Structure 1
Amino acid sequence: MSDQQNQFSICFWGVRGSVACPGEDTVRYGGNTACIEMNVGGHQLIFDGGTGLRNLGQKMLAQMPIKANMFFTHSHWDHIQGFPFFVPAFIPGNRFKIHGAIAPNGSTIEQRLNDQMLHPNFPVPLQIMGATLEFCDIEVGEVVKIGDVEISNAMLNHPGEAIGYRVSYRGHSAAYISDTEHFPNRLDENVLHLARNADVMIYDCTYTDDEYHHKHSGKVGWGHSTWQEAVKVAKAAQVKQLIIFHHDPGHTDDFMDDIARQTSIAMPGSVVAKEGMVLNLIKEAAPTAIAV
């Protein structure tokens, strides 16, 4: 088996939610918003285009010509704002297949990415991008096959709708579940479906339970979950490793250290996502986090 065939790696380029938050208090975990790169069976997959996409694009310039698939969970700003600054998309010869579900208002992912680059929001239109961009509308519940890789999806509980993804390849799987809000009296069957027996579950843990239920500043109805709920889901779905993701911009490195400590007690082996962190699902005996 070739090295590419024996490959299932995940690299985190942006781990924050809501808004980018660079600064001295977020250096260790990172301040860029959601962007994850997976290299699976020789195929490059990109999930979400938050501000972390810019840094991924800089790395990809050494790999041209580029052929990759991009999957968007939804089009809230923190998941698309890096797209206009994704340099490989401006270079002829590169090819990107861009997948996303149709929004409740009927707009496609192409329309929404196009709209954020229209005046007065941006100086140049999407059409100036020189790479070949193929936009694909995917149905909720549809399975996209790229070689031997299968990418399934399910609806999440988020204002304006969002979908989560499960990537499966030769007996290994990773669930990417951002953004979603847990239900008060039951576990979300869609989330359980995506996460069932996965090697890793990357889950929206924007808040703590205390923040979520706070009497004066609670976040019920805001569309996000907590690390405590993530542990419940991970255990119920028999996930091998839980990855805490979509950190609130107000959570400092020290705050995230405390979440890492508490989560590791509640579910040993859990990891709080950091920018630059790499997971290798196949070549290691078990999924491990490596800071680079």
Structure 2
Amino acid sequence: MADEFSLRCWGVRGSTPTPGSSTLRYGGETSCFEIRAGDALVLVDCGSGARNLGMELCKCKPRSFDLLFTHTHLDHICGLPFFKPAYDPNFEVTAWAGHFQDETSLVDIVSRIMSPPIFPVAAKTLKAVEFKTFTAGGQIPRDDDLVIRTTPLSHPGGACGFRFEYQGKSICIITDHEHGDPEIDAALPDFVQGADIMIYDAMFTDEEYPAFKGWGHSTWQKAVQLAREGHVKTPVLFHHDPKRSDDELDEIGLAAQNAYSGTLVASEGMILRP
């Protein structure tokens, strides 16, 4: 559909997949998003949730799309070796990463995880994938009406946030990110300003955070604060702590709703439209 603009969550958990009875409602797969903007398809992150997304894409006619990585920690790339379209040369997948703080490239990282004895299939078998590197803070080049802006985030080894703009609507993805870097924190309210939807790293609560300072993650209270500063319509709490049960996420969701009306807790399968 020419006017379609949506985000679907295929994985919302942080750090490691968490299958089990206590995570059935919100889901246990790690980071993976599907963005639709008219005829355009963009994926963000290839965590364990990407396996199911890949099988779904293979039910349709092969096509070209972009795959953007917020960063390359294992929970955000572990689904790539199991992502079926990546092996099918009838697809065209352009994979991007912009968080590197040295001369490392995306293909370097993928080649490290997809090599014996770590993994039996080498990265060169990803026939559909072209790897590209950029520097966070600019714009991803495109030839359609979807605009993709980027910004650096505060995370060990670096991370990149994304803002998608289409037909006057906007969706921001701010994960993995730890508040506390003055320069980055000062830039974020402008980056998310007026966004219809903002995915935000809310792995911890303010009460838990002091024990995990430096781990590279934020709190739901900071999500609410940024939403208020940036006049975000719908903040969405994301990157759930792997030890967090569905019932505990219910409690956090209620507290966040009371603090900022309209706040949602991300769940696997959730589809959001601005």
Which range, TM-score by smaller chain? Answer: over 0.9
1:31 aligns with 2:25: no
- The answer to whether the Cα contact below 8 Å between 2:99 and 2:152 also exists between their aligned partners in 1 is no
- Give the Cα–Cα distance (whole angstroms) in 2 for the partners of residues 87 and 55 of structure 1: 9
RMSD: 1.4
1:87 aligns with 2:84: yes
CA distance in 2, matches of 1:143, 1:185: 22
What is the TM-score of this pair, normalised by structure 2? 0.96
**Letter of the aligned partner of 1:137 in structure 2?**
T
Shift of 1:247: 0.3
Q: For 1:141, which of 126, 132, 137 is the aligned residue?
A: 137
> Whole-Å Cα distance in 2 between the matches of residues 113 and 192 of structure 1?
33
Q: Structure 2: which 5+ residue stretches go unaligned? A: none
Residues 106-142 of structure 1: CA distance to partner in whole angstroms, max 9, x if unpaired? 11112111211011210010111232x2222112212
Asked whether the equivalents of residues 50 and 79 of structure 2 are also in contact (C-alpha less than 8 Å), the reply is yes
Offset of 1:185 from its aligned partner? 7.8
Report the counterpart of residue 117 of structure 2 in structure 1: 120
1:8-37 alpha-carbon deviations (Å, 9 max, x no partner): 010000001111111000000000000000
Q: SS state of the match for residue 225, structure 2?
A: helix
- What's the CA shift string for 1:209-229, capped at 9, x where partnerless? 11112xxxx011111000001
What SS class does the counterpart of residue 153 from structure 1 fall into?
strand
- Percent identical pairs in the alignment equals 39
Given the alignment, which residue of 233, 242, 264 partners 1:240? Answer: 233
Residue type of the alignment partner of 2:140: V
2:172 is matched by which residue type in structure 1? A
Instruction: Tell me the TM-score normalised to structure 1 length.
Output: 0.90
Structure 1 pair 272/170, CA: closer, same or farther in 2 (3 Å)?
same
Report if the CA contact (8 A) 2:94-2:132 is conserved. Answer: yes
Alignment of 1:142-157 (within 5 A): 142-146=138-142, 147-157=144-154
Give the letter for the 2:68 counterpart: F
| Alpha-carbon distance in structure 2 between the residues aligned to 1:114 and 1:66 | 24
The answer for unaligned runs of 5 or more in structure 1 is: 282-292
How many residues in Structure 1 have an aligned counterpart in Structure 2? 273
Shift of 1:260: 0.8
